[in-house]
Structure 1
Amino acid sequence: MSAAPKHEQYDVVVIGAGPAGLAATTATARAGLSTLLLDENAGPGGQVWRAIDATPVKNEALLGADYWSGAEIARAARDSGAEIIHRATVWSLDRNLELGVSVGGGSAFIKAKRVIIATGAQERPFPIPGWTLPGVMTAGAAQTMLKSSGLVPDGPTVRAGQGPLLWLLAAQILRLGGRIDRVLDTTPRANYLAALPHAFAFMTSLYFVKGLAMMREVRAKVKVTTGVTELAAGTNRLESVSYVTAGGRRETLPVELLLLHHGVVPNVNLAMAAGVEHRWNELQLCWTPVLDADGNSSLPGIAIAGDGAGIGGAQAALWRGRIAAERAIKALRPTAKVSDLSPQLKRAERGRAFLDILFKPAKQFRIPQGDTIVCRCEEITAKDVLDSVAIGATGPNQLKAYRRTGMGPCQGRLCGLTVTELMAEARGKSPQEIGYYRLRAPVKPIMLSELASLPKSDEATKAVVRG
């Protein structure tokens, strides 16, 4: 592994070492293209295979076969001849395929002939009363601690939300001897009927048997409350979680740890800042990039693979990464032979529509009201946003001037979707019409010293001195 990029230019730069990024890196490097893989984590795997080379959980049965399948993928990328840099922050990407990268306290600009963005997914915001309190975590954060350090909760713990990760994390925690007192399932009951037309495709997919087994495993050990329509974690400290069932009954559970999960959405910040066109996805309720069948974006030379192209799961991400890589190979080596991998991708995506419809989050959990915090960085509430709309704020970018939403360290990752939907509802418009934050470099927080370390020409230095 390199401490900093060895060269100023590469044939292919891949951003993100999850399933898609690892697969793309392996393919382009093996084809003889100079390939650089940049990833912000300490090791390969992304969230799906996090800490695959370093996890202290060595019993393969505890994390499951799907997790350990990542070891071979990571090994293939490492042995491919690609240059791989971890703990690297990619904070800029422009239309000329120049990237700003920070590694080890210093920054540099590098050029690429092709860029494959494989930044994956992030958890959807889950803005309920008390979601910013100490003791409230996302499922993804809890899973990171489990995989990286083998840590599981041992006090009163409640899992709340919906989606496949709800059941996967619960199963993993229980296998490692952790404690879960209750699972509060917020899946709207109407979703089951809506998803029914897609049930056959799901039952014949890769997901069905595994998902059913996980649900049975968890239900055998933990009480599951379904049809939850309201959630609140308190106002000053986390002592309990209150919820309302589909029948209208309100209950309260004592809790020390509340793990929230509302599904995942594409991590779009880098691609948006680069100028890639995005559209509002009504099925997945998020922004997704406009791509062709090969993953090529609206900007020449930039492809997007994996869940950053739209949520599809780890297996689909692998094939998307390979497809994007083969198109890069063909673009740079026109005589190269490439394969048609679309049938494999289609098979990996089978059943996805069922999951998207079944786990479509309810409106009340996406669009908060009153004093519920929307922007965690600036502590802006739903009422603050609506008050700004009432006096003239027309979209997320104008809202920045009113309330500074989206201007904190997360740069909109934890509030962007909520702000868009909240303003869309208030103004009677679609999320597409309301739009998203206008993102600019740097898209990740970096130190001023890192910017100062960038190579400077004599002309630039003289300009500053004269100024």
Structure 2
Amino acid sequence: MNVADRAECELVVIGGGPAGLAAATLAAELGLDTVVLDEQEMPGGQIYRSIERRTKQSDRIAPLLGPDYRAGLDVVEAFRRCGAVYAPGSAVWQVRPDGAVGITQNGVASLLRAKRVILATGAMERPVPVTGWTLPGVMGAGAAQTLLKASGVVPSEPTVICGCGPLPLLVAVQLLGAKVPLKAVLITTPRMLPADALLELPRAISQFRDIMKGLSWMRRLRAAGVAVHHGVSAVEAHGASTLEKVSFDMGGQRQSIDASVLLLHDGVVPNVQLSRSAGIRHSWDESQLTWRPDVDEWGATSQERLAVAGDGRQILGAKAAAPLGKLAALDAACKLGKISVQERDSRAREWRKRLKQHTRIRPFLDRAFPPTLVRLLPTGDTIVCRCEEISAASLRSTIRDDGLTNPDQIKSLTRCGMGPCQGRMCGTTVGRIIAEELGQSIEKVGLYRPRIPVKPLSLGALADLRNALTEPGLKAPAEPTRREL
């Protein structure tokens, strides 16, 4: 669909992952005129990226990705049948509280006005600013998995994976199946589970199959001769122009491994760029060291027309994202008069039950695999802002010497956060460093003030903005009067 041809609709869903597809599918079935804006070219999001292409019989990548990935095809096929309008290749650069959404598709910028908007922007891999993280050869484990799904590309040189949680083990097994020369997996959490995680284990036992997956991945790695080390800390990447070596502390000793590729992972965090730029209220989650939007049980936010679903509101996983999307869609349909409150609440019972089932394991996972690599903030020459190449030492010196107290002052003086990522990669780290230097809470320090566009937008596209004057009462400026001198 060419989204610039549309001026308005009842519901806009931003994101084509599990939450967005589930929300759009149900909303369309309930009679809502629904448009899905997806930056990718095919539905599926990060978790089911390229699922329609990868599940063809001739594809060699899908078997490496496992049954959980292939299950995404059912989600995508249900969405294709539902009647919602799909707009692939649509980069959203603005969401306004009144429901106006700024979009760029095929180089054309436009505004689409909706009565309700569901942000299903999903999660992003947490930036891990350890020493050497900007060296060529160092990247996120999730990013490596994305390359595998989208392009069938894997490392061909000696590789080390480092991080916490299930994803590093899953990626390791997938890369092992792709014949990647995997040298080691470095787990930053201890082998023995902490006491607070053990207390949550009985509740998580209903998802025993998911727990067993992690153990089976560990067995496969060890059977293949891949070293798996637990309790790793102080990870650093070394090399002159590219990665040459990974060093770390383990068991009170400093160790190192020669490698050309290092894949880091310290969990995922809600992608809050759009929700923050829309003025939605957010809170700091200290246990997960991240910001997330304040929502009610339906995903409704502090902005009346805007809701958030899926991992964009809280990291609960792909299986939980679908029920969250359904609940947001039910609430949208109710508020737009398509169903009654009673019908909304009745239909919601099934999805709340599924949500409860899929999230029983989450307290256990959060306590067993908390963020560890980013717990200690960077110091010295370690780069904090990749775009502007600003180090931790220079940032801390600026805070002390110039008396800066918030990220926006840092941005104005140092350009930290002004690069292409618009602070996505450095924002939380900068805020935490300021808080540490000033002895204040991160809530008081905050984040960069969001600026639009949140995605690159050319001046030419903005000047030719489509549907900019369709808003009632908004008129084009009159031609300037002229007089002869």
Q: Same fold (TM over 0.5)?
A: yes
Structure 1 position 244, deviation (Å)? 2.8
Amino acid of the residue matched to residue 86 of structure 1?
A: P
CA contact (8 A) 1:158 1:180 kept: yes
Largest Rg, 1 or 2: 2
Find the counterpart in structure 2 of residue 434 from structure 1: 445
Cα distance in 2, alignment partners of residues 59 and 7 from structure 1: 37
Cα distance in 2, alignment partners of residues 460 and 214 from structure 1: 64
Amino acid of the residue matched to residue 113 of structure 2?
A: K
Cα distance in 1, alignment partners of residues 327 and 443 from structure 2: 29
Work out which of the residue numbers 86, 91, 94 in structure 1 matches 2:93. Answer: 91
Cα distance in 1, alignment partners of residues 274 and 112 from structure 2: 16
Cα distance in 1, alignment partners of residues 144 and 481 from structure 2: 47
Work out which of the residue numbers 270, 273, 276 in structure 2 matches 1:269. Answer: 273
Between 1:383-392 and 1:7-16, the stretch displaced more is 383-392
Amino acid of the residue matched to residue 218 of structure 1?
A: L
CA contact (8 A) 1:240 1:255 kept: yes
Find the counterpart in structure 2 of residue 236 from structure 1: 240
> Which digits, 9 at most, give the CA deviation of each residue in 1:208-266, with x for residues without a partner?
12222223222322111111111111253234333233322112211111111111000
Find the counterpart in structure 2 of residue 298 from structure 1: 302
Work out which of the residue numbers 45, 63, 66 in structure 1 matches 2:65. Answer: 63
Structure 1 position 60, deviation (Å)? 4.6
Work out which of the residue numbers 261, 280, 284 in structure 2 matches 1:280. Answer: 284
Cα distance in 2, alignment partners of residues 424 and 191 from structure 1: 30
CA contact (8 A) 1:15 1:116 kept: yes
Cα distance in 2, alignment partners of residues 287 and 109 from structure 1: 28
Find the counterpart in structure 1 of residue 423 from structure 2: 412
Give the paired residue count: 465
CA contact (8 A) 1:57 1:150 kept: no
Find the counterpart in structure 2 of residue 13 from structure 1: 12
Find the counterpart in structure 1 of residue 253 from structure 2: 249
Find the counterpart in structure 1 of residue 214 from structure 2: 211
TM-score (norm: length of structure 1): 0.95
Structure 1 position 114, deviation (Å)? 0.7
CA contact (8 A) 2:4 2:108 kept: no
Between 1:47-56 and 1:410-419, the stretch displaced more is 47-56
> Which digits, 9 at most, give the CA deviation of each residue in 1:121-174, with x for residues without a partner?
001110011111111111122111111122222211111111221111111111
Work out which of the residue numbers 108, 111, 114 in structure 2 matches 1:112. Answer: 114
Structure 1 position 361, deviation (Å)? 1.9
Amino acid of the residue matched to residue 385 of structure 1?
A: L
Find the counterpart in structure 2 of residue 385 from structure 1: 395
3-state secondary structure, aligned to 1:439 = coil
Structure 1 position 436, deviation (Å)? 0.7
> Which digits, 9 at most, give the CA deviation of each residue in 1:320-352, with x for residues without a partner?
001101111111125442312222111111111
Alpha carbons of structure 1 residues 449 and 366: separation in structure 2 relative to 1, 3 Å: farther
Amino acid of the residue matched to residue 63 of structure 1?
A: L
Find the counterpart in structure 2 of residue 318 from structure 1: 322
* 1:36-47 correspondence runs (5 A): 36-47=35-46
Cα distance in 1, alignment partners of residues 449 and 287 from structure 2: 23
Find the counterpart in structure 2 of residue 184 from structure 1: 186
Work out which of the residue numbers 451, 456, 476 in structure 2 matches 1:459. Answer: 476
Cα distance in 1, alignment partners of residues 193 and 155 from structure 2: 31
Between 1:181-190 and 1:297-306, the stretch displaced more is 181-190
Structure 1 position 54, deviation (Å)? 1.9
**RMSD between superposed Cα atoms in Å:** 2.1
> Which digits, 9 at most, give the CA deviation of each residue in 1:286-332, with x for residues without a partner?
00100001110110011100000010000111110011011111111
3-state secondary structure, aligned to 1:33 = coil
Work out which of the residue numbers 451, 457, 460 in structure 2 matches 1:446. Answer: 457
CA contact (8 A) 2:288 2:371 kept: no
- 1:368 paired with 2:371, answer no
3-state secondary structure, aligned to 1:195 = helix
Long gaps (5+) in structure 1: none
Structure 1 position 101, deviation (Å)? 0.5
CA contact (8 A) 2:246 2:262 kept: no
3-state secondary structure, aligned to 2:52 = coil
3-state secondary structure, aligned to 2:36 = strand
Structure 1 position 354, deviation (Å)? 1.4
Cα distance in 2, alignment partners of residues 366 and 416 from structure 1: 16
Find the counterpart in structure 1 of residue 27 from structure 2: 28
Alpha carbons of structure 1 residues 464 and 25: separation in structure 2 relative to 1, 3 Å: farther
3-state secondary structure, aligned to 2:170 = helix
User: Percent identical across equivalent pairs?
Assistant: 43
Cα distance in 2, alignment partners of residues 132 and 463 from structure 1: 52
Cα distance in 1, alignment partners of residues 48 and 409 from structure 2: 39
Structure 1 position 189, deviation (Å)? 6.4
Cα distance in 2, alignment partners of residues 90 and 435 from structure 1: 24
Long gaps (5+) in structure 2: 470-474
Alpha carbons of structure 1 residues 463 and 313: separation in structure 2 relative to 1, 3 Å: farther
Cα distance in 2, alignment partners of residues 313 and 57 from structure 1: 26
* 1:95-244 correspondence runs (5 A): 95-187=97-189, 192-205=194-207, 207-221=210-224, 222-234=226-238, 236-244=240-248
Alpha carbons of structure 1 residues 98 and 385: separation in structure 2 relative to 1, 3 Å: same
